[in-house]
Amino acid sequence: MKFLVFVLLGAIVPAFANEYCVKSVEEACGDKGTDSTNCNAIYGSIDSIKGDLSSLTLQYFMKSFDYLLLSSNFGTHTLNRPGFEKLYRKTSDDAWNEAIDLIKYQTTRGSTMDFEKDIKLVGDNFALNELHSLSFALDYEKILAKEIHGIHKKVSHAHSSTHAANEEHHYDPEITQYLEEKFIENEAETIRKLSGYTNDLAKLIKSKEPQSSLAIYLFDEYLAKQ
């Protein structure tokens, strides 16, 4: 079996010499210089979605700042909603940690983070009331989930049978697993939670009119205990 592996490697390397570390090492040991650029952790399709992962990372950094602004909006002495402040502060902290995790993942796969990528701004006005802030957060998470699904599709096996012949395609199950476990499942749970909060608060406000302020106060207390 070992002999067969070496035979296959010997047959494959000459055909794809520019892609393999062994070729770089051979050149480094000879008279062609010391280039070892192929001796890295890059494999699969990490390079093909480098820009997508960089954009997603910056989106999560922006998400952290956006939710921090939402949190500070409800932490003022005028609104004084500790439950909403806690909800958005935790979401901000989680987004920051997820962005850091994305950077670590890219370096683990031999890629680098591009901090010059443009990012899509979701909004710039965070002086929202309680119900509007929940609906804003729900839409925010759906936009992020859509972007993550787009990256997942680019490297998924399901996409490989449908892409056009002239379209560059790469299949990378390790990236799909990472996205599913670290982001897709979390986004699904976050969207479900926020949609529940939005509908519950809307029903409370409607049923408690004209004492809607009491309903909001009770809902904020509920969030503070979560």
d(CA 130, CA 206): 14
Which one, of 13, 42, 45, lies nearest residue 154 by Cα? 45
Is 141 known to sit in a ligand binding site? yes
| Alpha helices (H) in the chain, listed in sequence order | 2-15, 21-29, 50-74, 82-108, 130-154, 157-160, 173-179, 185-207, 212-224
Q: Are 59 and 144 in contact (CB under 8 A)?
A: yes
Binding residue positions for Fe cation: 141
Binding residue positions: 141
